[in-house]
Amino acid sequence: MTPESLETTLRSLLGRRPFQPFILEMDDGRRIVVDDPMALSFGGGSVGFIGPDEIHLLRCEQIKDIRMEPQAAAS
């Protein structure tokens, strides 16, 4: 994912009202559920997310896809 597409996609998802959780799918198969918009920070092609169990520091090249969480998409 390019820095520009990452930032455009994240801005769009974070701007939804009400907020709907989404998934960062990594190139190594990990899936990170973003369920709190206040726990996410991004810029310059990097993403930081404070999850319930760990802190994730990611580069845009590691992110394969960003999509809605299935139960959020069904609502």
pLDDT digits (tens, 9 = 90+) for 30-54: 999 999 999 999 999 999 999 989 9
Distances (CA, A) of 1 to 5, 17, 20, 61, 65: 6, 25, 21, 5, 8
CA distance 31 to 16: 21
Taking the model in full, what pTM does it have? 0.87
pLDDT surpassing 80 at residue 74: no
Tell me what pLDDT residue 73 has.
54
Cβ 63 vs Cβ 6: under 8 Å:
yes
Tell me what pLDDT residue 72 has.
54
If residue 35 lies in a helix (H) or strand (E), which one and from where to where? none
Q: Which domains does the chain have, with CATH numbers?
A: 3-74 (2.30.30.100)
